[in-house]
Structure 1
């Protein structure tokens, strides 16, 4: 559909004049063309919310597309639909993944911080990853498929820090479904409608995190994680799943009383670093140095009432703990390190699955993790 040169795109008030003008344009089209255009406009309408806006900003930042001068999500989506129509699918997928985040179809995996390189740019690795992913799905070989690789830029809601994520969305032709519809003779006919299955991968080599969004349950996502590990991080140990739980860092405004039982086998627990934000983009980090003083004692001694623990306007953004385990007979003492970041990130590199479960049990006991959110399943079905 094309608008005449003198078409008035301005919108006053609630935009009813613009809506009527677009309706008149649509009325000039054939019935089938009208249906197609309205379907496209309906898609844009489903993306016209806060989640869609964030998705559009992330995708456009990854593609270096400037949308700063545009007014609101509707303006952005219309601009992209005209100038960059291929990005609408990516925004739809990105918004869908955001809505599923933390639900039944989402898993996050943490690789150890061993400094070993990832092979995300390797075309051979990408091809093998796609082939193995299709094998996990156990679909017939004749099904059509395609992988869309792209980057997004996420901005942390509190710190403003930008992180570049590499994405792969794998589209696979799923088994077609039979539906009723009106045929050419205006009578009801049984029609075959093709369906599309999606598997979404997002990863950040810097933090060594991989997010997987796919139907099929935890075992299926574990298989996708193993496929990712074999092809892109072959020299590192397989990653561990990291549940997304809101962290309660405000409890660390005063020295915490870590409850420890003899059966835990813990010699001591210490807060080794605290990151603070002042709400305007300013960030301050303090790390514990030396054995004779805690980080709380240092901040009180050095800053007194001006300490960010006491003064107003400061928020704890992240905290790192060292859980020093009691030495076993014939072995050296070892420490488990865990970092909590607002709003819901818990990382503990170089740990085993049993260590991870032990750490999460301690964090729950100390009240630093909120209760798990109820699983939400909001899968969309592509046509």
Structure 2
């Protein structure tokens, strides 16, 4: 749609003035063109929320697109639709992944931090992964497919630290559906509408985490991550699934009594390290050393009122908890270690599924994890 010279792109802060200006311009167009444009605007409207704005910011940061000076999410989306139309599909895919995080069709997998590089930029690895996706979806080879790879920049809300995330949205031609529509002769006809199925992945190479959003249940997502490991991280051990839920570190600002039950078989629980970030830009990690004194006792003895637990300007960003399991007849005494980091990283790599479920149950009991996000949404099938 052509915009006249001098069109006023400014907003009143709520977007209503800009919307009215655009509506007036659209009303002068032919009816069919109005319908097409309104359909596109409806799509943009579906993205005009907090998730949509966050997605736009992350994608623009990853593609060196400046949003400075734009007033609100409507301005940002309209600018992208006009100047960078491909980015709207990426914003839509990213917002969809954010809304499904923690839901039924989403899984996150934690690789061991073995220091071995990932081949995320390899064309051969990307093509191999795409071919595997078609096989996992159990679709005929003739079905069209396309993978859109792009980067986003996520910013830690407390520390301001930026992390580069590599994304892939795999679009696959799904089975056609029959729908009623008005044909060229203005009579109802039954037409075949070709559908597109999406599979989304997000790769955090720094934290060694891969998120997968795809329908089909846990078994299918296990197949996707096995393919990811085969093509992009062939030197690393098979990753394990780990829930991605917001952590509640405020619980650890004071000494805790970690409630256990006899059936847990837990000998003791200890906080072995705490990470802090200062509003002045400094980081510090306090680790427990020696027996007979907790980390909290050490902080009080060593720093008193200047402890980051008591002094203003310090924010807790991470904690490591050691769960010592008592020896049993068929098992030696051992320790399960879990690290929590803001806003939603929980690492428990290279443990059995039974151990992982056991530890996450304890974290819920100790109020260290936000309530589980119950999302019944499916991976979208779109026109």
* Superposition TM-score, scaled by structure 2 size: 0.90
* Alignment-derived partner of residue 236 in structure 2: 236
Asked whether 1:221 is paired with 2:221, we answer yes
The alpha-carbon deviation at position 90 of structure 1 amounts to: 0.3
Q: Deviations over 1:276-335 (max 9, x none)?
A: 345676544322233353211111012212323234554432210123445679998643
SS at match of 2:69: coil
Q: Aligned with 1:148: secondary structure?
A: strand
What's the offset of the Cα at 1:255?
A: 1.9
Counterparts of 2:240 and 2:349, CA distance in 1 = 9
C-alpha distance in structure 2 between counterparts of 1:309 and 1:12, whole Å: 43
Q: Deviations over 1:175-201 (max 9, x none)?
A: 111111111221111121111100001
CA, structure 1 residues 67+370, in 2 after alignment: closer, same or farther (shift >3 Å)?
closer
Q: Which residue does the alignment assign to 2:100?
A: 100
- 1:381 is displaced (CA, Å) by 2.9
- 1:338 and 1:144, CA in 2 relative to 1: closer, same or farther beyond 3 A? same
Question: How has the CA–CA distance of structure 1 residues 255 and 9 changed in structure 2, closer, same or farther, with 3 Å as cutoff?
Answer: closer
Q: Secondary structure at the match of 2:103?
A: coil
| Pairwise CA distance, 1:208 | 0.7
1:119 is displaced (CA, Å) by 1.6
Residues 110, 239 of structure 1: 8 Å contact kept: yes
Residue 129 of structure 2 is matched in structure 1 by 129
Matched residues, number: 383
The one-character-per-residue Cα deviations of 1:149-198 (angstroms, maximum 9, x if unpaired) are 11111112233221111111100011111111111221111121111100
What is the deviation of 1:107?
Answer: 0.6
Q: Which residue of 1 aligns with 2:189?
A: 189
Find the aligned partners of 1:151 and 1:185 in 2 and give their Cα distance. 46
Q: Answer whether contact 2:248 2:367 (CA < 8 A) is retained.
A: yes
Deviation string, structure 1 residues 340-372 (Cα, Å, up to 9, x no partner): 123432112332323323322333343433443
In structure 2, what is the Cα distance between the partners aligned to 1:216 and 1:163?
A: 30
- Kindly indicate whether the alpha-carbon contact (under 8 Å) linking 1:119 and 1:125 is maintained by their aligned counterparts in 2: yes
Structure 1 residues 52-88: Cα deviation after superposition (integer angstroms, max 9, x where no partner): 1100001011111121222211221122122211111
In the alignment, is the contact (CA less than 8 A) between 1:244 and 1:346 conserved in 2?
yes
Task: Flag the 1:324–1:179 CA change in 2: closer, same or farther, 3 A.
Answer: same
Deviation digits for residues 3-38 of structure 1 (CA, Å, limit 9, x no counterpart): 222434444586666444433432343332222211
Cα distance change of structure 1 residues 10 and 258 upon mapping to structure 2, 3 Å threshold: closer
- Asked if 1:91 is matched to 2:94, the reply is no
Q: How far is 1:114 from its partner? A: 1.7
Cross-structure match for 2:143: 143
Q: Which residue of 2 aligns with 1:37?
A: 37
Q: Report the equivalent of 2:5.
A: 5
Which secondary structure state, in structure 2, belongs to the residue aligned with residue 178 of structure 1? strand
Which stretch of structure 1 is more off in the superposition, 53-62 or 334-343? 334-343
Residue of structure 1 in register with 2:161 after alignment: 161
RMSD of the TM alignment (CA)?
2.6
Cα distance in 1 for partners of 2:60, 2:20 equals: 30
User: 2:310 corresponds to which residue?
Assistant: 310
Structure 2: unaligned runs, 5 residues or longer? none
**Are 1:268 and 1:325, in contact at CA under 8 Å, matched by a contact in 2?**
yes
Q: Aligned in 2, Cα 1:78/1:353: closer, same or farther, shift over 3 Å?
A: same
Report the counterpart of residue 249 of structure 1 in structure 2. Answer: 249
Match of 2:65 in 1: 65
Extract unaligned runs of 5+ from structure 1. none
Decide whether aligned partners of structure 1 residues 370 and 45 sit closer, same or farther in structure 2, where only a CA change above 3 A counts. Answer: closer
